[in-house]
Structure 1
């Protein structure tokens, strides 16, 4: 019996060491075109005009290849596709970049567009290697407000079971608040209150910085608020990208900010 086990083990070792023919196990000539980013990307700028680069990738680098895509947006007069729906890969190149210009932006307004690969590029994707391809991507851009610092408040996170001193900013001439680097460095939390400050006008889904092990970046989203003195409580949702759209991962927890006096 021991000899049999050893013989099987030796056979497995020989099989694992035979790497010369690994490439022959599965080969494909498919390009497997994919946008680099699946999750929506947001760019904030002080300028009213900006050029936005978008990267596409492929798995087969042999020869040149021309991919096609369409741009869709509800924001008329803002975006111009400088690449005119065409992305060209040079021989030996596995990634290429197209550009979209944004102009005529008004301060504090979020503008978005979605790029989608052509049916031809999607249909020629390899069914094995191309399962995780991103056939579309959404990019948002905003010409930022002028912000004034109100002071330091206190943020309390029920999700992470901790609290901390938190700088608070407000956009000049508005009731829009920003909590810079709130839960993670580089990720701000932003929301808009009514004129009297007692109700929530807007809390858009926004990246909060934490990346889930399975679903990637988590987004915070709130539909309502409660106010007690200077403390604002948000019944929060934790959203993730699932099948190309935001879906609820967590709910039933409250995040709060106590504004400076």
Structure 2
């Protein structure tokens, strides 16, 4: 049973709460002194990129004082490891007209088929803190991923060396690509994803969060170190880590249906 994996780790880990994409301007507080003030809707935004979005990621920017025209300059920071030039800020400056309260920051990317089907692209958008509303939401972290249609291919068995346990594990496959997903693998709401090549070997396994939060150091993630396949069983060598360091490499195995 999955619930048993915390018995020997109860002092180290606690159940994580799922990240929720922010869609409402929860932090837009107005100064009320007549000066322009700006804010993002929240600290995080999750984006599913799909063929119908015109190769654009839209991030709303809110203005508190809507009197007169004003403008705000934005900057885009791309996470390390992402190909240079893959994402670009199409609106380095947003111009607000008199009475306008919401503007759109537009981040563009190339043809969706040029993006990895398994990758999570992380970036942040920000403006000068002195121009922020009292909420101080002048930076937003963006996690963008290709929208994939997953369907169940059955139930396999997952074994974790790190937690010393195993359980029946549903397995899903994307219709658009050879990408597999293990839903709610360690924690509900946190899937483990990977892609296979034509020979059935692992071709992509990006860093991803497990869903467990270290009591002192925060979210625990995994980094791919290699894999081995024997029949339907795929064994991943995964480095379990937090911002402050890591717990070493463990072998995690999924036996596919």
What's the TM-score once normalised by structure 1's chain length?
A: 0.57
Q: Is the 8 A contact 1:147 1:171 kept in 2?
A: yes
- Larger Rg over CA atoms: 1
SS of aligned partner of 2:226: coil
User: Aligned-pair distance for 1:101?
Assistant: 7.0
1:149 aligns with 2:152: yes
Partner SS state of residue 112, structure 2: coil
Deviations 1:48-91 (A, max 9, x none): 3187565889xxx99x997642125658687665x654599xxx
CA RMSD in angstroms comes to 4.5
Q: Indicate which of 209, 212, 229 corresponds to 1:207.
A: 209
Asked if 2 retains the 8 angstrom alpha-carbon contact of 1:152 and 1:167, the reply is: yes
Q: Output aligned runs, 1:8-27, within 5 Å.
A: none
- Aligned pairs for 1:92-103 (under 5 A) are none
* Number of aligned residues: 209
Matched, 1:140 2:149: no
Which runs of 5 or more residues in structure 1 are unaligned? 1-30, 89-95
Say whether residues 1:257 and 2:254 are aligned partners.
Answer: yes
CA contact (8 A) 2:71 2:93 kept: no
Structure 2, unaligned stretches of length 5 or more?
1-36, 97-102
Q: Which has the higher helix share?
A: 1
- Aligned to 1:163, the other structure's residue is in SS state strand
Match of 1:162?
A: 165
1:115 alignment partner, one of 103, 117, 124: 124
Please tell me whether the aligned partners of residues 49 and 57 of structure 2 are also in contact (alpha carbons under 8 angstroms): no
Q: Return the alpha-carbon distance in structure 1 between the equivalents of residues 95 and 209 of structure 2.
A: 28
Q: Which residue of 2 aligns with 1:13?
A: none
String of CA shifts for 1:201-237, please: whole Å, max 9, x gaps.
Answer: 1100112212223333222221311223322111111
Partner of 1:43: 47
Within 1, Cα distance between the matches of 2:42 and 2:176?
38
For residues 215 and 46 of structure 1, what CA distance do their matches in structure 2 show? 34
Structure 2 equivalent of residue 69 of structure 1: 74
Supply the distance in 2 between the matched residues of 1:87 and 1:160 (Cα, whole angstroms). 52
Instruction: Compute the displacement of 1:162 (Å).
Output: 1.8
Q: Quick one: structure 1 residues 115 and 85, their matched pair in 2 at CA, closer, same or farther if it must change by over 3 Å?
A: farther
Higher relative contact order (CA 8 A, sep 6+): 2
Q: Is the 8 A contact 1:78 1:105 kept in 2?
A: no
In 2, the alpha carbon distance for the partners of 1:157 and 1:235 equals 11
